[in-house]
Amino acid sequence: MSSAAVAERPAASTRQRPVVSARNVSKRFSNGTLALSDMTLDIMPGEFVSLLGPSGCGKSTALRIIASLGEATTGTIDWPTSRIDSRGKPASSIGFVFQEPTLMPWRTVFGNVYLPLRLKGQSKSASRERIMAALETVGLGDFAKAYPRELSGGMKMRVSIARALVTEPAILLMDEPFGALDEITRQKLNDDVLRLWHEAGLTVVFVTHSVYEAAYLSSRIIVMGSRPGRVVTDMPIDSPWPRDEGFRSSEDYAALSRKVSDALQHAIHQTGEAA
């Protein structure tokens, strides 16, 4: 992938129906931990939304519930524009990128990206074109035959992104995907994700506890308070596009980062009903 960031910002329309809508979602784990409390949120088509909050505030829990990887204790998740499958889940609509690349070491890069299509019963030969297109998108077209052990941390994360994109999801959910990477690789992947978001017309929900990452990437930042997690501040981000090296060194970015940092501090000091 090229490191140049997007040329312009795709417009997220407020007249459209949300891709996903969470209403009064709470989550209490079986050990009694109240991770989320009354979280309400609409994600609109074309948005790049960051969920920003302190460690342990429930960001991953919220994302997993949105992805149907976990159940809400109370509240609802709706997918107003998606076809719902027999299990009540949005069919083919979600791509999920975990904190770790979670690749199968015994399979090649190609085999790892094939996995979600294999699970849908599609043959390898029929999937080849889509897999190669996904690998090209993340700049790994030449690495289809490589094994994970031959790749750097950033390349493994690219494979993980290709695996999420190969089903052509309506929404890409990313759970702090670059937290374990060095700063230069992280910045490069930030630029690449922005490019993908722009070129593929994706809707992205991105979990992070980095103020700087959220400020750089987002068209909207949801700031969550300390556990139990809920929306404390919902900030549309009006900073100009493109987001690139020029933006990174701009006064606009510094001012935005200060504003987001203040919002995070405010959210952390809201009294959480730790339970």
Binding site for ligand ATP (CB under 6 A): 29, 31, 33, 35, 53, 55-61, 209, 227
User: Smallest distance, Å, CB 205 to ligand ATP?
Assistant: 13
Cβ proximity to ligand ATP, 58 vs 169, nearer residue: 58
What are the structure tokens assigned to 232, written together?
């404390």
Residues in the chain: 275
Cβ proximity to ligand ATP, 55 vs 86, nearer residue: 55
Distance from C-alpha of 235 to C-alpha of 48, rounded to nearest angstrom: 12
Cβ proximity to ligand ATP, 209 vs 243, nearer residue: 209
User: Smallest distance, Å, CB 218 to ligand ATP?
Assistant: 17
- What's the Cα-to-Cα distance from 72 to each of 4, 40, 69, 87, 103, rounded to whole Å? 39, 12, 10, 15, 28
Task: Provide Rg for the chain, Cα atoms.
Answer: 18
User: Smallest distance, Å, CB 57 to ligand ATP?
Assistant: 4
Cβ proximity to ligand ATP, 29 vs 84, nearer residue: 29
Long-range contacts of 148-152 (CB under 8 A, 24+ apart): 148/101, 148/103, 148/104, 148/105, 148/109, 148/112, 149/105, 151/109, 152/185
What are the structure tokens assigned to 242, written together?
């493109």
Cβ proximity to ligand ATP, 52 vs 162, nearer residue: 52
User: Smallest distance, Å, CB 208 to ligand ATP?
Assistant: 8
Cβ proximity to ligand ATP, 77 vs 162, nearer residue: 77
Location of structure tokens 């929404």: 171
Compute φ and ψ for 196, nearest 5 degrees: -60, -45
User: Smallest distance, Å, CB 197 to ligand ATP?
Assistant: 22
Cβ proximity to ligand ATP, 56 vs 111, nearer residue: 56
User: Smallest distance, Å, CB 115 to ligand ATP?
Assistant: 24
User: Smallest distance, Å, CB 36 to ligand ATP?
Assistant: 8
